[in-house]
Amino acid sequence: MKLRIISLLLLQSLIGSTQTSELIFHSGFEPMSTLTVGGNDIIGVDNSVSPPNNWVNDLEYHPNIGNFSIFYEGGNDTMRFAKIVTDPTDSTNNILQYWLKHPNVSGTKGRVQAELYGNNNLTEMSQKVRIYLPSDWDIIKSADGGTVEWMVIMTLWNNAGWTGEGNPFKVSLGIHKRNPWSSDLNFNLTGDIKTTYWEHIWEESDSSYSIPVGQWLTLETYFKEGDASNGRFVLAVTPEGGTKQVIFDVTNFTHHPDDTSPDGMKHYNPMKLYTSDIVIDYVRNNDGVLQMYWDDFEIWKDTNTVLNIPKNEVLGNFKIYPNPMSKSSVLEFKNATNENHKLILYNTQGRVVRTITNIKSNQVIIEKGGLNAGLYFFQLTTKNRIIITGKILIE
């Protein structure tokens, strides 16, 4: 589909941003976007949109971008594939279809994913893409007593686990169904490090937005490399014909906490369908196939204005005292309408050490309790938006 893009340069001038931004690439998978024989790459030029629209010359030859490919990790076309096909909801439109009928990874998992690997100094970027969950997903939604513990649709690697780089770290965006007696599908987000196994150092699970089946959604994401005080990941969702909603706005490590010289997101899966054999087999055994549609894909460098969401700025004054603290501190902030807030306290490794909920006044007391002496970071959130970030030192 021809992308309906407002120039970010114009948008920046309207909102007064001085941040430089660059559209790296965009495509709606229209002719002449072509999936190569074997389904391992997309080449050609999408003439339905203006440049940069060349899958090779604009995307892969960009100085910050490595190689683009489609990866399966085993199997054949009877088990999985990616294809550019006619949109089942609009015969004038082309889309990218991911299809998983059998677990193609050693019989235990299934994977179809786009890869941008070997990137260079990609420390801040935004992505925009439309997704569509066809009716097969109703099988998952209606599975009483069944859950989807993990399903990944996007991964950002700041040092990968398979390359021999030190301090492997990844941010993964997924879809899950945690409540076995609910039909709701929700987004979840994790920051993971690898020791012997991958483990979460932070996790966000949303229950406010139920992902619809049979409706196009626009996903907008923003990534900035940083530590517990300035790393950032944002997800906003706009259903077709609906209103944009921020699902996640996380300030935390977006690189390994032990990495003293992070150098950007070297590897990146912008469109991914990766899950367990349990999910794939359940859908197939109930006369469906796990599949997902993608459209209107675009990548921007050095910008978060594609989301039109401000950076983590204090909305009004706040003060925290005493700081450093020995026994307790008080955080005071503006809350004239008595909105419900949550305070999250992190250590320097990005791990949540305390959460205080149901804060409806204009202050909250932070007790030392069993916390060790040292530096901590805090976030105050309301309505899924971070309004205050800061640091506190415990003596």
CATH of residue 381's domain is 2.60.40.10
What is the spatial distance between Cα 170 and Cα 154, in angstroms, rounded to a whole number? 10
Statement to judge: residues 169 and 63 lie in one domain: yes
Statement to judge: residues 267 and 365 lie in one domain: no
Give the residue numbers spanning the domain of 364: 318-394
Tokens of 187: 């987004």
DSSP 371: P
List, as one string, the DSSP characters of 161-177: SSS--SS-EEEEEEEEB
Statement to judge: residues 254 and 123 lie in one domain: yes
Helix or strand run (H / E) with residue 310: none
Whole-number pLDDT of residue 181:
80
Going by C-beta distance under 8 Å and a sequence separation of 6 or more, which residues neighbour residue 177? Answer: 140, 141, 143, 146, 147, 148, 184, 185, 186
Q: How many folded domains does the chain comprise?
A: 2
Whole-number pLDDT of residue 227:
93
Statement to judge: residues 248 and 373 lie in one domain: no
SS3 195: coil
pLDDT in tens, the chain (395 residues): 544 433 333 333 333 334 468 999 999 999 999 999 888 999 999 999 999 999 999 999 999 999 999 999 999 999 999 999 999 999 999 999 999 999 999 999 999 999 999 999 999 999 999 999 999 999 999 877 578 989 999 999 999 989 888 999 999 999 999 887 888 999 999 999 998 899 999 999 988 899 999 999 999 999 999 999 899 999 999 999 998 888 998 999 999 999 999 999 999 999 999 999 999 999 999 999 999 999 999 999 987 655 655 443 333 467 888 989 999 999 998 888 888 999 999 887 778 899 999 999 999 999 999 999 998 888 888 876 777 878 889 99
Statement to judge: residues 324 and 363 lie in one domain: yes
Statement to judge: residues 166 and 259 lie in one domain: yes
Statement to judge: residues 26 and 158 lie in one domain: yes
Statement to judge: residues 46 and 150 lie in one domain: yes
Provide the whole-model pTM: 0.79
The answer to the question of residue 39 being in a domain is yes
Statement to judge: residues 147 and 240 lie in one domain: yes
